[in-house]
């Protein structure tokens, strides 16, 4: 066989090999198992791999679906009471629990490390997590996420170096946002973990700590604004006290108010139009935090002239820790014009601390959505899943399953609340219970025009008043019939 014939015989083989090579080059990279797989540098601009290669975009399949990676109740574009479900719910992913949660608890070391983690807290690793975050959000089918500054970028040796780290990661996140509708629901500064904040941040007894916290919030406000964030949250994890014997509570509260006013001033100076939110919590990590519950926070805002500048981010688990139901806290915020956002989670009645579990109770979700509907929605706020996987849940797909379950629960709650409102029986029961105040004297009382002399005359005229049934069992029957 001559050389020409040999070449012709090898030509198809060369063509096949070329096609295989082109296919390999064209196919997207993946990080399916661990960081040591040959998936390139996922922090680089050129890397276009997948962190969740076995999971496609989550779709609505209806209540009869048995597919755990599908929505049974959340149908984003379906209209409920004249508004799309996605606009009622405005779901958001919490970066700190989803991508920084390790499963550690006060009694045990971490139980999970996701495949893309390399064991460092470097800027390169921060970028890798950010890529995973955006892929997760896109596959989940939501458009919002929330972050603490120190969760998304590492501390440096100085504040200048720390800010530079944050700038690099934020610029990377901004690039990932391009061509998408994904934006932060809110940002915040982590003012509770570092030892410098052991006495508090805005309420610290040390002026140097107060100044450092102010610089940190200043920067966090700026980066939230830069990314197009819709809100900014203040959670005062250590803004409180352990014992009053060594605490000047009056002075600390005044310092906190001045700190918040300075934040308002800076927000306006940089042109950030987002809502400033305060997240109440009664205790943990302090014995007593100054924003104990919605009513306490409302009183604080009134005392220091901050009404109109802040709304509340109500967390359901915090509500139960303060001795209230989530529904109570939402209604307290709503009737005072302060309901701005909801951290969607729940606790365990048998565990006394903040467990941050995904909300899966249909009844509680229905009560939550009744408040949201009465509020006309939450925008520019939304539902942030400030919830984490259980310590024993260690598979990557569990991250999706947990969020799907939480989203479906609130979607089902929305459907139930809409049924209750459209039926009208519960509203009619409440109306009838207070109908005596629809009288002439009742209207005077509600207008603040009925003095004690007038009311005494009425009491003499009417004699012993008739007190009808409160119909609690009927109210519960109507409510549960919608679940």
List residues with catalytic annotation: 148
DSSP 249-280: HHHHHHHHHHHHHHHHHHHHHTT--SEEEE--
The three-class DSSP label of residue 374 is helix
| Phi, psi dihedrals of residue 331, rounded to the nearest 5° | -70, -40
Residue 15, C-beta contacts closer than 8 angstroms, at least 6 positions apart: none
141 Cβ contact partners less than 8 Å away, ≥ 6 residues apart: 57, 58, 59, 76
Distance CA 241, CA 80 (A): 45
Between 326-335 and 294-303, two packed helices, what is the crossing angle to 10 degrees? 30
- Concatenate the DSSP letters of all residues of 270-333 into one string: TT--SEEEE---S-SSSSEES--SHHHHHHHHHHTT-BTTEEEEEEHHHHHHTTS-HHHHHHHH
CA angle, residues 334, 338, 339, in degrees to nearest 5: 60
Q: Among all chains, which residue has been given the structure tokens 């900014």?
A: 232
CA-wise closest residue to 147 among 265, 47, 230, 267: 230
């Amino acid at each position: 066989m001559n050389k020409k014939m040999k070449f012709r015989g090898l030509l198809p083989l060369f063509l096949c090999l070329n096609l295989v090579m082109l296919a390999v080059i064209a196919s997207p990279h993946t990080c399916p198992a661990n960081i040591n797989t040959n998936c390139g540098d996922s922090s680089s601009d050129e890397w276009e791999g997948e962190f969740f290669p076995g999971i496609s975009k989550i779709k609505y399949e209806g209540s009869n679906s048995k597919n755990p990676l599908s929505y049974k109740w959340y149908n984003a574009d379906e209209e409920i009471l004249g508004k799309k479900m996605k606009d009622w719910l405005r779901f958001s992913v919490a970066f700190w629990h989803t991508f920084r949660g390790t499963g550690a608890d006060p009694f045990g070391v971490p139980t999970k490390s996701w495949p893309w983690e390399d064991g460092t807290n470097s800027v390169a690793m921060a970028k890798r997590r950010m890529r995973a975050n955006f892929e997760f959000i896109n596959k989940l089918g939501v458009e919002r996420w929330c972050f603490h500054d120190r969760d998304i970028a590492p501390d440096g040796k100085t504040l200048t170096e720390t800010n530079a780290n944050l700038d690099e990661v934020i610029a990377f996140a901004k690039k990932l946002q391009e061509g998408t509708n994904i934006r932060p629901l809110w940002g915040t500064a982590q003012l509770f973990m570092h030892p410098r904040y052991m006495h508090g941040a805005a309420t610290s007894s040390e002026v140097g700590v107060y100044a450092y916290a102010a610089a940190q919030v200043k920067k966090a406000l700026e980066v939230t604004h830069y990314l197009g964030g819709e809100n900014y949250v203040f959670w005062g994890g250590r803004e409180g006290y352990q014992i009053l014997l060594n605490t000047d509570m009056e002075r600390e509260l005044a310092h906190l108010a001045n700190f918040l006013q300075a934040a308002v001033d800076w927000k306006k100076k940089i042109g950030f139009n987002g809502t400033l939110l305060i997240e109440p919590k009664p205790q943990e990590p302090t014995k007593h935090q100054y924003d104990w519950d919605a009513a306490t926070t409302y009183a604080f805002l009134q005392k220091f002239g901050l009404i109109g500048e802040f709304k509340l981010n109500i967390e359901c688990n915090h509500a139960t820790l303060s001795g209230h139901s989530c529904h109570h806290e939402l209604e307290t915020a709503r009737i005072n014009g302060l309901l701005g956002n909801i951290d969607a989670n729940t606790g365990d009645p048998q565990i006394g601390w903040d467990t941050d579990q995904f909300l899966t109770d249909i009844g509680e979700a229905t009560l939550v959505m009744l408040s949201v509907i009465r509020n006309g929605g939450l925008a520019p706020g939304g539902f942030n899943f400030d919830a984490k996987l259980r310590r024993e849940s260690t598979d990557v797909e569990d991250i999706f399953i947990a969020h799907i379950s939480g989203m479906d629960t609130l979607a089902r709650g929305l459907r139930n609340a809409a049924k209750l409102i459209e039926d009208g029986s519960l509203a009619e029961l409440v109306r009838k219970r207070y109908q005596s105040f629809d009288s002439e004297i009742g209207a005077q009382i509600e207008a603040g025009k009925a003095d004690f002399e007038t009311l005494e005359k009425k009491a003499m005229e009417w004699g012993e008043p008739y007190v009808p049934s409160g119909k609690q069992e009927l109210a519960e029957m109507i409510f549960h019939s919608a679940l």
